[in-house]
Amino acid sequence: MSTLEGRADEALRRIGVHLDDPADGTLVARTPITGEEIGRLRPSTADEVDAALTSAHKAFQSWRSVPAPVRGGVVRQLGILLTQHKDDLAELVTLEAGKIPSEALGEVQEMIDICEFAVGLSRQLYGKTMASERPGHRLMETWHPLGVVGVISAFNFPVAVWSWNTAIALVCGDTVVWKPSEATPLTAIACDALLKRACIDVGADPEIHQLIQGPAAVGEQLVSDSRVALLSATGSVRMGRTVAPVVAARFGRVLLELGGNNGAIVAPSADLDLAVRGIVFSAAGTAGQRCTSLRRVIVHESIADELVRRIADAYGQLEVGDPFDDGVLVGPLINEASFTAMATAIDKARADGGEVVCGGDRVGDGESYYASPAIVRMPEQTSVVRDETFAPILYVLTYSTFDEAIELHNAVPQGLSSAIFTTDQREAESFLGPEGSDCGIANVNIGTSGAEIGGAFGGEKETGGGRESGSDAWQTYMRRATNTVNYSDQLPLAQGVDFG
């Protein structure tokens, strides 16, 4: 057993998972840190996926009738267990996703935060009472559990996105069937084990959560099954184009979190010290593999040279390497395909007249893929800039007028996260207004990544339009009923209709 495989095994054991090594295990967990195998599992069969859906659907029949504050008790206990095993789960996140420990710990903290949010929410699933036009009548809305929620998550946030969906879905009275990324099966096993333990601790039915693992075919079965009332899928735009029509054809609900070609405008009045810090973390953090990673900087021509110089200087201080090593801030890309996509994008940018200021080179060799974060100055927003490359490439464009900056910013098909760095209040308010950023997230003097759980998370256009986490995102996981109660002895009709 290798050192990293041993670390994964020990972290799982501390959580309470004893991973077998089945002879027919074709689902291989590999760490992007070295490329080596750290676990082997047997993927779910079609019959097992069907059984998981059957169990989740059956569990829903009773779970939906459990009072919401009682349902919140499961999520409260999950938060307690996550707190106890924060270091263990974060270690698995680093091993499978390649995040530096600080980011991995932050992801688990995000899980704890959403549990706290959901527990409070379990006592706040409010409906409305409206004024009725008919005397002796009351008009109101009530919210009810929806059904089975299918969750398909991506490698880059292997546990946080699951928790956003699961914590909210459970307090709303739904049950969950989760299909994680093939790249992160061990973190998924750990999360499932902790949630099942939480259920047992508080006397709830562990069948309210089901874990299925394997290739795309496993997820396709989840997408097409009519027992899945809501499908929440995180991934590429291409995946969304495949998933959405299938769910729509069976009149299911879909919550999509897809690509994010995020941009930041840097105005002449910007605090450049602040802007550089925000840009560097947003662009290079998680090796550029966040859906909210900064891909485009749109900077005023009067300060472009200075800003690029400062970012390049900061990039020169970023240590790329094994995320477990002290001082490392940029870990590995998830696999060879990611590095190939990065190299291809940089070559295309050069062909389009782009100038590579720094970075873009492979760091090290072997079966792991590390890359130095790249800065590329572009003469215009060509197709390679409009397409999202899931890697640490930062394209820099210039503008002369604020209207031009907004036009450049919005001229991409994605619409997840955005930012402006300015001390001009008019520019800041205009960016947040209806003629400003067309994204689901718009920030002022802060980068595009690092969203808090209190706000609804999601984007517009090809990002899919879904909303997860805070605010009123819970309504996605429930169905609304409009109720009219007649407490009089008359039967007046609405709109003054007289039926004799």
Residues linked to residue 143 through DSSP beta bridges, in sequence order: 480
Sign, CA torsion 55/58/62/68:
positive
Rounded CA separation 495/500 (Å): 15
Tell me, what's the pLDDT at 23? 61
Rounded CA separation 62/455 (Å): 31
CATH 3.40.309.10, the chain: domain bounds: 262-444
- Average pLDDT over every residue of 266-293: 98
Tell me, what's the pLDDT at 227? 98
- Average pLDDT over every residue of 90-96: 98
For the chain, what's the residue count? 500
Neighbouring C-beta atoms of residue 101, cutoff 10 Å: 17
Tell me, what's the pLDDT at 1? 73
Q: How confident is the model at residue 500 (pLDDT cuts 50, 70, 90)?
A: confident
- Average pLDDT over every residue of 152-159: 98
What class does CATH assign to 3-258+464-481? Answer: alpha beta
- Average pLDDT over every residue of 274-281: 98
Q: Where are the beta strands (DSSP E) in 3-84?
A: 27-30, 37-41
- What mean pLDDT, rounded, does the chain reach? 97
Tell me, what's the pLDDT at 22? 66
Please confirm, yes or no, whether 191 is among the known catalytic residues: no
Please confirm, yes or no, whether 37 is among the known catalytic residues: no
CATH 3.40.605.10, the chain: domain bounds: 3-258+464-481
Tell me, what's the pLDDT at 20? 75
Tell me, what's the pLDDT at 25? 79
Tell me, what's the pLDDT at 21? 67
Tell me, what's the pLDDT at 499? 87
Q: What share of the chain in percent tops pLDDT 90?
A: 96
pLDDT, tens digit, for every residue of 176-213?
999 999 999 999 999 999 999 999 999 999 999 999 99
Residues linked to residue 30 through DSSP beta bridges, in sequence order: 37
Please tell me which residue in 199, 291, 388, 439 is annotated as part of the active site.
Answer: 291
- Average pLDDT over every residue of 380-397: 98
Please tell me which residue in 207, 257, 388, 462 is annotated as part of the active site.
Answer: 257
pLDDT, tens digit, for every residue of 419-451?
999 999 999 999 999 999 999 999 999 999 988
Residue 256 pLDDT > 90, yes or no?
Answer: yes
Residue 402 pLDDT > 70, yes or no?
Answer: yes
- Average pLDDT over every residue of 218-229: 98
What class does CATH assign to 262-444? Answer: alpha beta
Rounded CA separation 200/273 (Å): 51
pLDDT, tens digit, for every residue of 68-86?
999 999 999 999 999 999 9
Rounded CA separation 335/24 (Å): 24
Look up residue 333 and give its DSSP letter.
B
- Average pLDDT over every residue of 316-322: 98
